[in-house]
Amino acid sequence: GEDVEQSLFLSVREGDSSVINCTYTDSSSTYLYWYKQEPGAGLQLLTYIFSNMDMKQDQRLTVLLNKKDKHLSLRIADTQTGDSAIYFCAERGAGGGNKLTFGTGTQLKVEL
Amino acid sequence: DAGVIQSPRHEVTEMGQEVTLRCKPISGHDYLFWYRQTMMRGLELLIYFNNNVPIDDSGMPEDRFSAKMPNASFSTLKIQPSEPRDSAVYFCASSFSGTHGYTFGSGTRLTVV
């Protein structure tokens, strides 16, 4: 079945850039997503990218996709303490059904 | 729109008791998903519905778990009998087939003692 993997933890200083990485196995993925989960809350959609794109920018967020290597990354510019959260990547296969496969989540800690 | 509404937010119950978690999806959404989140296993898809019909329940751990969606605006996840290993945060999410991503509820934190 599909598999999505992420590193578990990332620590950065406030003002630096954060890069969260994700790898996936499903070569038929059509869309890839980044979600943010703050403590005690559900997951919130941050951004998504179509599989035939290699980059998408949305304000402080930049998504890079290397489809050949099945590697997705999320760069957060000028990271703030409010960015501290768990970040999940997810992929949507070509099989339809709106079903997403989520990664394990990366805990981002922003230090002063 | 109030978003996806889950109840209760917290539930503490004794082993062996029946637990019912509730979810109200966003109006107009045609997909509904139930997820379970634990430290050990991360986010697991339990079951999902399309137009109130269960499509994939392969993630339901065992027969003690059941889910229903009697209409487009309501779904339940029931655990009977509950066990301590069922302790987790249970999320409901909904989506519309023509748009991207899911909208998640705030979750129900279940503790079985």
Measured in angstroms, the CA of A60 and the nearest CA of chain B are apart by 20
Arithmetic mean of pLDDT, A80-102: 87
Q: Looking at chain B, which residue has its C-alpha nearest residue A36?
A: B104
- Determine the pLDDT at residue B1: 65
pLDDT tens by residue, B68-90: 999 999 999 999 999 999 999 99
Report CB contact under 8 Å: B45, A105: no
| pLDDT tens digits along B90-104 | 999 999 886 778 899
- The pairing of strands B108-112 and B10-13 is parallel
Helix or strand run (H / E) with residue B13: strand B10-13
Residue B4 in contact with partner chain A when CB distance is under 8 A: yes
Size of interface A-B (CB pairs under 8 A): 51
DSSP notation for A6-61: E-SEEEEETTS-EEEEEEE--TT--EEEEEEE-TTS-EEEEEEEETT-SEEEETTE
pLDDT of A30 reads 85
